[in-house]
Amino acid sequence: MDAKMHPDTCVIHGGHRRDASGSLVTPLWQTATFAFPDCQTGGARFAGEQTGPIYTRLGNPTTDELERRIALLEGAESAVAFGSGMAAVAATLLANLQAGDHLLAAVGLYGCSYSLVTEQLPRFGIEVSLVDFADLASVEAAIQPNTRLMLLETPVNPHLRVYPLDPIVALARRHELLTVVDNTFMTPLLQKPLSHGVDLVVHSATKYLNGHGDVIAGLVCGRDEMMQRLRGEIRKDFGAVLSPHDAWLILRGMKTLAVRMERHCTSALKVAKHLQHHPRVARVYYPGLEQDNLLGNQMAAGGAVLALELEADYHQALAFADRLQLFTLAVSLGDPESLVQHPASMTHSPYAPEVRQAAGISDSLIRLAIGLEHVDDLLADLDQALAAVATQVETQGAQR
């Protein structure tokens, strides 16, 4: 039944196994360890000869259901949950790279992913090259004999550039490389990288999957043998486990994922179109506005995050963000509340200024995560903040 479910149904029922008590809602197994009826059972479970819970760092029935649900939604054989999105990214790389290997990572990665690959991995003897996956000739030229893996986001955070996955996967297969895609911005309802041949999909479940801004979590989806290593070795030994309570909150949040994403995306498109015509906005970045944007093929919609380049300097961009009233000044996305952040000084501040500029992250770039408020109120809030920026620019120009 699970494999045939529509995704809108799967977010509610996928992976659910009715408890013996008959509880409609997935029980919260809030326990660190599990008792064995006898030593023979305990030994058999540790030896892998018998299934059953042992210790929550190794697995928990509540977390197990979350893993089954995201695997079904992504079309994966299996999935593994982690204590954060960054734990999921780090575990995926550590499971598939070792000293002497080479990684190709996308230019413009989320700031902490960038720090991980440029500062932490080299400490363990792993080489890293940053490449623009929009230029596959340059990507292929960067492949070395020791290259093992490609890591990318699409859309890219924060300027929302999209990469066609089919040619990237074809290139990776020619060179026998693994591909890892961060699918946080899209969710499996809007994009399924595994269906395009990608090997591993990563999510920050903190965002849309939970949807309420009260959980930190990560998920990895892929082939069963790869997930077994992540679960039985990497997560077990490094300990980046997701608490069962947080898994329960994500399961609850996922039940409304389909209706939330519909509202998020509809409002984001309206906001993007509105901002396109404002004289203080130099450019709007949103996949739904581009002609060649993979909609209807790779992506079902443009998502709920957009960025705008202001006709303003660094300080005027900060003043714009501070002026907003309904948009909360905070990093993250996927919450009911609309959020605004300034990438150059916040999420992408780990980048050196010249690297940030090369990645298309200017001092006047603002990222908006569109929430669930009425879109007319969001537009009014943006208009009043832009009007204040226009007045500030005109005043400073007159003073000169």
Residues carrying an active site annotation: 57, 110, 182, 207
Nearest to 276 by CA among 290, 263, 264, 266: 290
Question: Tokens 């209807």 belong to which residue?
Answer: 296
Going by DSSP bridges, is the β-strand pair 78-82/218-222 parallel, antiparallel, or unpaired?
antiparallel
Radius of gyration of the chain (CA): 22
Question: Tokens 């290997």 belong to which residue?
Answer: 101
Q: Please report, for residues 5, 84, 152, 212, 215, the alpha-carbon distance to residue 205 in angstroms, rounded to integers and kept in the order given.
A: 21, 8, 17, 11, 8
Joined tokens for residue 232: 């039985």
H or E stretch including 147? strand 147-153
DSSP codes of every residue in 347-377: TTTTS-HHHHHHTT--TTEEEEE--SS-HHH
Residue 391 to residue 280: CA distance in whole angstroms: 10
CB atoms within 10 A of CB 238: 15
Residue 311 to residue 116: CA distance in whole angstroms: 33
Residue 6 to residue 185: CA distance in whole angstroms: 20
Nearest to 203 by CA among 189, 195, 214: 189
Going by DSSP bridges, is the β-strand pair 200-204/218-222 parallel, antiparallel, or unpaired?
antiparallel
Nearest to 113 by CA among 94, 136, 85, 138: 85
> What residues pair up with 127 in beta bridges, in sequence order?
102
Residue 79 to residue 95: CA distance in whole angstroms: 14
Longest dimension (CA), the chain: 84
Residue 70 to residue 187: CA distance in whole angstroms: 10
Judge contact between 114 and 144, C-beta under 8 A: no
Joined tokens for residue 166: 């089919």
